[in-house]
Amino acid sequence: MNFKKSAILVVVAAALMATGFGAKTLADDYWSGHADVEAINNDIDTLANRVQAKNGQISQLNSDLNSAKSSVSGYQAQMKSLQDQLTQANAEKQSEIQEKINEINQKIAEGNAKVSDKQKEVDAANQKISDLQQQLAVAQQKLSDAQNKNNADLSQALSDVQATHAKADQAVQNNQ
């Protein structure tokens, strides 16, 4: 009976195995799309993960873009501020330069006025020198004329004295 039990047990086990194998084969044939469904689900999960990753990248890129736009706005405001400062500094420098030019022009005008005054003094001194030279020339001419007249008078007086002397000598000789 042991043998019979063992044989029945082997037959039952073989029948169960055959039934299980048959059921598996039947299930595989009946559910052959299951692997495809799992593959599709895996693909859908992969695509969903990729879409989520891309959406995350898009969100990050949008955030980076907004940050860059904000930075650009900040830089534009800073650039405008710097341009305003530059314009103001240029205006101040132009004002300073114009002020210096005006000061220089005023100093030049003052210098020219002093030169003009000195030139007038020089002209007056030159005129005085010219007048004095003319007076000197007139005085020298008068002196020369006076000397010539004196010389002529002296010559005449000498001539008169000599003539008188000669006449006196003649009179003395005639009376002797």
Q: Calculate ∠ Cα 30-33-38, nearest 5°.
A: 130
Residues 72-108: pLDDT tens digits? 999 999 999 999 999 999 999 999 999 999 999 999 9
Residues 128-142: pLDDT tens digits? 999 999 999 999 999
- Kindly report the backbone phi and psi dihedral angles of residue 31, in degrees, each rounded to the nearest multiple of 5, phi listed first: -105, 30
**Which token pair is 116?**
């003009």
Q: What is the pLDDT of residue 106?
A: 97
Q: Is 102 exposed, middle or buried (0-12, 13-18, 19+ CB in 10 A)?
A: exposed
Q: What is the pLDDT of residue 146?
A: 87
**Which token pair is 55?**
């959406």
Q: Which amino acid is at 165?
A: H
* Structure confidence at residue 14 as a pLDDT band (50, 70, 90): confident
Q: What is the pLDDT of residue 95?
A: 96
Residue 23 has pLDDT above 90, yes or no: no
Look up the pTM and report it. 0.44
**Which token pair is 143?**
């002196």
